Amino acid sequence: MLRIIKYLKRIIFIILLLLGLLYLCTANKTEAADVYTIIRDEVAAYNSDPVQIDWITQAICYTSNLYAVDPLLITAVMETESHFHFTSVSPVGAIGLMQLMPDTARSLGVDPYNPLENVIGGTYYLRLQLDNFASWGEYAVTDAVAAYNAGPQAVIEYGGCPPYNETINYCIKVAEAYNDMLSRFY
């Protein structure tokens, strides 16, 4: 089982790394409006309210700049978490667009029911995980995404993505959404 998990992590990481590098190589050739359009189209695939679509897209771009997190990664996490629904509440109590747990939101000093604070808090929490696992080598982004889902302590205890089906599937869904958006640059 652990061998399979490590293999899946390696595949996810390699895909994210290659696509991230490809994105960086083409970023100078791509106008910011293209990124905005890709994000807007992704949000619109799940949310039909034009005002909410624009608001969510702008919030993603704002927090991306605020915390230096790839806007497509924020979008992929938000899509996987809530499918861009403001009032989404999970069975375990995660709240809003970025599905913040109440204790996590409290520790970040944000109101999870306030949409802007939810996106700011979720993006900041993602930035913390990216920083926490930045030195973990080739699986750093995958481990950060796993930590967003399962908590950083679980990732630390298992030395990488924990062997939880939910977390493995979560990482795969985030990678698929990210890769799908990245492919639209061509």
Q: Which domains does the chain have, with CATH numbers?
A: 2-183 (1.10.530.10)
Note the pLDDT of residue 9. 65
Q: What percent of the chain has pLDDT over 90?
A: 77
Digit-coded pLDDT (tens) for 128-151: 999 999 999 898 999 999 999 999
Going by pLDDT thresholds of 50, 70 and 90, the confidence category of residue 185 is confident
pLDDT at 79 over 60: yes
pLDDT at 6 over 90: no
Output the CA–CA distances (angstroms, integers) from residue 155 to 2, 112, 132, 143, in the order listed.
13, 24, 11, 7
> Residue 100 phi/psi, 5° resolution?
-80, 135
* 125 secondary structure, DSSP code: H
Tell me what the mean pLDDT of segment 67-91 comes to.
96
Known catalytic residue: 42?
Answer: no
pLDDT at 110 over 80: yes
Going by pLDDT thresholds of 50, 70 and 90, the confidence category of residue 158 is very high
| pTM for the full predicted model | 0.82
> Which residues, in sequence order, are CB contacts of 33 under 8 Å at separation 6+?
none
Options 42, 79, 81, 117, the catalytic residue: 81
Specify the range with the lowest mean pLDDT, choosing from 10-14, 24-28, 76-80, 86-90. Answer: 24-28
Of residues 2 and 112, more confidently modeled: 112
